[in-house]
């Protein structure tokens, strides 16, 4: 893959492939309060909370097994897990309350990941997983638009002020039109993309992953009850037996 080489506004370097990015600058912490009430007629999969780590947690916050996916919306291997693993994970384990599933973003590809993350989280917890799912489904389209852009255009975006850079990146990728077609008005997505506190929280999330899991190698990576799993468990075939063992 060919991606933007730098992100001056965040002092963050983007890298090709789904490998670990360099540690960026610090940003303010966020705090959140979990709620755990199944809606009438629903399941635990209908319960979504933002976590103190700036991720989104689907399911029972008090589940016996707490699964975290460290992932990038632009990573093709994360897309594969979304398509092949998440449906089984949700149906077999999350809906019943046995396992909670947290998506924790990591900025593998710098500016485009920031823009996609801000779009996904713009409608709050209830809108995160549906938008993330849609972004994964059409990943080749919006990532391809960035890869095909002239270097001069990418350089122009990199040199914009922070409150304009991610709006421009999202526009280049077609993300605002994409989101508008799925119920997120362009004016609202523009506001989220220009929100420097949201941007800083994205950077802090990556910092925290690097600090908490120094052995982290790339996306997707999985954590069960605080333990980072080996790379062999980066797909559903490798992950499910470890979930079952943790449940026993």
pLDDT digits (tens, 9 = 90+) for 98-129: 999 999 999 999 899 999 999 999 999 999 99
- Cα–Cα distance for residue pair 109/162, rounded to 1 Å: 17
DSSP labels, 85-106: THHHHIIIIITTTSEEEEEEE-
Q: What is the pLDDT of residues 124-168, one digit of tens each?
A: 999 999 999 999 999 999 999 999 999 999 999 989 998 899 999
Closest by CA to 116, choosing from 70, 172, 43, is 172
pTM for this one?
0.88
CA dihedral 234, 240, 241, 246 (to 10 degrees): 100
Partners of 68 in the β-ladder:
102, 223
Complete domains list, the chain, with CATH: 6-22+40-247 (3.40.30.10)
* 3-state DSSP percent of the chain in helix, strand and coil, to 5: 50, 10, 40
């Amino acid at each position: 893959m060919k991606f933007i080489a730098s992100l001056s506004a965040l002092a963050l370097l983007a890298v090709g492939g789904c490998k670990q990015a360099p540690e960026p600058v610090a940003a303010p912490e966020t705090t959140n309060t979990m709620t755990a009430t199944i809606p009438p007629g629903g399941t635990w999969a209908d319960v979504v909370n933002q976590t103190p780590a700036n991720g989104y947690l689907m399911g029972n916050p008090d589940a016996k097994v707490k699964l975290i996916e460290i992932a990038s919306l632009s990573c093709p291997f994360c897309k594969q897990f979304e398509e092949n693993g998440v449906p089984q994970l949700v149906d077999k384990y999350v809906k019943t309350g046995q396992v909670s599933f947290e998506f924790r973003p990591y900025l593998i590809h710098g500016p485009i990941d920031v823009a996609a993350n801000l779009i996904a989280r713009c409608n709050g917890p209830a809108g995160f997983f549906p938008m993330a799912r849609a972004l994964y489904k059409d990943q080749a389209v919006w990532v391809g638009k960035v890869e095909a852009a002239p270097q001069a255009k990418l350089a122009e975006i990199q040199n914009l002020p922070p409150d304009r850079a991610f709006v421009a990146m999202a526009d280049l990728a077609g993300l605002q039109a994409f989101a508008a077609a799925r119920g997120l008005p362009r004016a609202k997505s523009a506001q989220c993309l220009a929100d420097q506190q949201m941007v800083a929280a994205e950077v802090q999330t990556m910092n925290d992953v690097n600090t908490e899991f120094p052995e982290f190698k790339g996306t997707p990576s999985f954590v069960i009850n605080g333990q980072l799993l080996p790379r062999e468990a980066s797909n559903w075939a490798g992950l499910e037996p470890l979930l079952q063992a943790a449940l026993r």
